[in-house]
Amino acid sequence: MKIDHLGIAVPSIEEALAFYRDALGLTVSGYETVEEQGVNVAMLPVGESRVELLEPIAEGTPVSRFLQKRGPGLHHVCYSVPDIEVALERLRSRGARLIDERPRVGAGGHLIAFVHPSASGGVLVELVQESNHPEPSEGEFV
């Protein structure tokens, strides 16, 4: 397993880039608007992982509610797993509370699932099944 990406909720991607891009020195590999999830996303590769900046596009969206409740910060950690069905079954059999009982298809065609933060020390967990093709994935945003 590896950490595929860290999702960080911010009120403004442009403002966050003053730190992550300009001060820290990361590079933005792509921007995307995921209407279904109500977010704009900027991806910044870090080695084999990425930072995923999440900016809400409207009130009432999950990331907007997260910002209102908890302020900017770490929104989720995404682990890449070889077989998402096996990973979910293992979690289920050990009593972890799942948000997605079944994998769903995220943007980019990747299979993803979310695990409730109550199961994982307060941080939302995203699982993504490793893709068979090596190109950097663009998808599975929250």
First to last CA, the chain: 20
Nearest CB to Zn ion, comparing residues 67 and 142: 142
**What are 123's two structure tokens?**
């941080």
6: contact with Zn ion by CB under 5 A: no
Binding residue count for Zn ion, defined by CB under 5 A: 4
- Name the phi and psi angles at 84, rounded to 5: -70, -30
- Interface mask toward Zn ion for 111-130; x: CB under 5 A: ---------------x----
142: contact with Zn ion by CB under 5 A: yes
- Pairing outcome for strands 104-105 and 124-129: unpaired
Q: Which residues bind Zn ion (CB under 5 A)?
A: 7, 78, 126, 142
